[in-house]
Structure 1
């Protein structure tokens, strides 16, 4: 295997002391360590996977780590995103993760990109790095990362987790994520960690697998997961591999596209209400019914006053909310808005008019809307 990165400067005595346990590995040595110290790695996501793999990269000696994430730390993150703590709640995840890296090795340069990875910004950011790592939690970003890396001629290490299972793979221009999953799943069939949950130890397991693939690519040691994907089932402690290749008739990637539209998330024409408009209508005293489709433990933490509750799973099983009165719109919300969109789609299929709150309760709170928290809820 050809190493991705050329060796950097000679190691100093403190480097030899710090990395002594990996310098003694067969086939590793100072040459591999110098390659790591010259490597520039860009990571999408500072959540479950990113917060697990970034500290490993820092500890191994990667000199420059970029982190793309526009989210803030929440209490519900802490059971699995172990690079963040209670004191970090409310902080940008990029800042919290950068502090974790600094505590491991202050010499590691952390480039914080506190924004969402998009087709507009990712190519420019990626230009400054040797390879890309995708630890995102949604299909649009996974396809974006695969296409952007392929167009840049750079390898991509990707991972995904849900409930008790995880996957890891390496994409190169010859074969990648898009070849394994040429057609995205229907939006209604996709669960996220927010909807389906995740075992916390799965994050560290898959994150470690991903970090290992990065080290192998950078140093040229071992055999990376190119043309094969690794599946891990935490409940049975079993792994399996599935080989794959690029189909002869696979279309070439010639540019980046609208990935929300590609994955069927955008353009569904569901009626929507902005958080600012909801706040204005509530302040004007206009008649309105609010339906919270989150789980009871989420509602207990924070809710919008006067909202009814009906968990999404119960609603999709056939239970409908109480019929709204004349001129009384039904506004559905969740934490962000994936579940509320699913709920509105299900309700409208049954002939019930409803619209969803864009950005969910987070967006409503961000524009100054009143929420009841904890015991007050």
Structure 2
């Protein structure tokens, strides 16, 4: 199969040519997240001829994903996202080498993983992992292509490019209580647009063309088609050593438990169920020994909690509860567990007590 024919429409661009195509063929890109953003990023990187693509995602496909994760089919429900995305690329462009990494990117594997690639693409919807990706990119000196979505608004930027500003230069405070798309809602096309912006930044970096969004953040609103671009500067203090990275991220893993396993503890006065969602979120959970403290207020109101009690933390889907777990651990709470799946999982077992 002729590579010239496959890539002809981009090779004839004077900014690319055969030399640019060779640059693409020798570049390795790691995409973290094969969800909505990844579903837009991956096909365009593969079809352009990026030589090697790593796909890191430990999740499986659910029916609610199909509204925006358009590279998957209905019969793929329950299967690995990383492996299904790899199969899609194999059909689209068999010339591209693909590695499916069906494990969670964490402090234990991020650095060794990032060292194998030239560019790291953040296609996640979790604030905490974005800080980890940023910090691992700093340690390994890799550029990070960032994308995020909140309802109808998306953001795109490139961090740590040629020693440029980082994610922490833009967002120095680890405000980890932002809602993800599962909790805030999202229109599939919005995610696709932002993902394609990210793919465009990757290709520009590889080819050395155009103006990379380094030190700039593009904000795009899909409802009114308005976009703004803001400048931000590098902060001297936003650096991290390998030792500091390992100390920060190689902590004890958050311990999760199924709500079904703790149903018999709902009336136990020695147990507390801590709801860290915002007060306006549904479904409402009604348990005797329960307290609600939104995550953003938890540190300031932590004295309301008894360290002698066993604390089961829950949020909407199980993301913010993990952050709360780490916060409580920092304040020397010893007996904490995060309820897997959060209120969305709990409502199935408490239907008679939930007011939706």
TM-score of the two chains, using structure 1 as the length reference: 0.71
Tell whether the 8 Å contact from 1:333 to 1:356 is kept in structure 2 after alignment.
Answer: no
Q: Give unpaired runs (5+ residues) of structure 2.
A: 295-309, 326-334
Tell whether the 8 Å contact from 1:139 to 1:184 is kept in structure 2 after alignment.
Answer: no
Q: Deviations over 1:48-92 (max 9, x none)?
A: 111110111001111210011111111111111111221111111
Q: Does 1:155 pair with 2:143? A: yes
Task: Determine the structure 2 residue equivalent to 1:101.
Answer: 89
Classify the secondary structure of the residue corresponding to 2:47. Answer: helix
Task: Determine the structure 2 residue equivalent to 1:360.
Answer: 340
Task: Determine the structure 2 residue equivalent to 1:178.
Answer: 167
How many residue pairs match? The answer is 319
- Mapped to 1, the partners of 2:176 and 2:86 lie a distance apart of 33
Tell whether the 8 Å contact from 1:119 to 1:258 is kept in structure 2 after alignment.
Answer: yes
Task: Determine the structure 2 residue equivalent to 1:121.
Answer: 109
State which of 195, 199, 208 in structure 1 corresponds to 2:183. Answer: 195
- Mapped to 1, the partners of 2:348 and 2:247 lie a distance apart of 30
Cα distance, 1:260–1:132 mapped onto 2, change above 3 Å: same
Residues 230-309 of structure 1: pairs in structure 2 closer than 5 A: 230-247=218-235, 249-255=236-242, 274-275=256-257, 278-282=259-263
Q: Does 1:337 pair with 2:310? A: no
Residues 56-135 of structure 1: pairs in structure 2 closer than 5 A: 56-135=44-123
CA drift at 1:275: 2.4
CA drift at 1:364: 11
Tell whether the 8 Å contact from 2:31 to 2:55 is kept in structure 1 after alignment.
Answer: yes
- Mapped to 2, the partners of 1:216 and 1:156 lie a distance apart of 13
CA drift at 1:23: 1.1
Max Rg structure: 1
CA drift at 1:291: 10
TM-score of the two chains, using structure 2 as the length reference: 0.75
Cα distance, 1:29–1:341 mapped onto 2, change above 3 Å: closer
CA drift at 1:95: 1.0
Q: CA RMSD in A?
A: 4.1
- Mapped to 2, the partners of 1:281 and 1:239 lie a distance apart of 48
Tell whether the 8 Å contact from 2:318 to 2:342 is kept in structure 1 after alignment.
Answer: no
Q: Deviations over 1:73-118 (max 9, x none)?
A: 1111111111122111111110111111112012221111111111
- Mapped to 1, the partners of 2:154 and 2:230 lie a distance apart of 13
Residues 304-323 of structure 1: pairs in structure 2 closer than 5 A: none
Cα distance, 1:230–1:337 mapped onto 2, change above 3 Å: same
CA drift at 1:251: 4.4
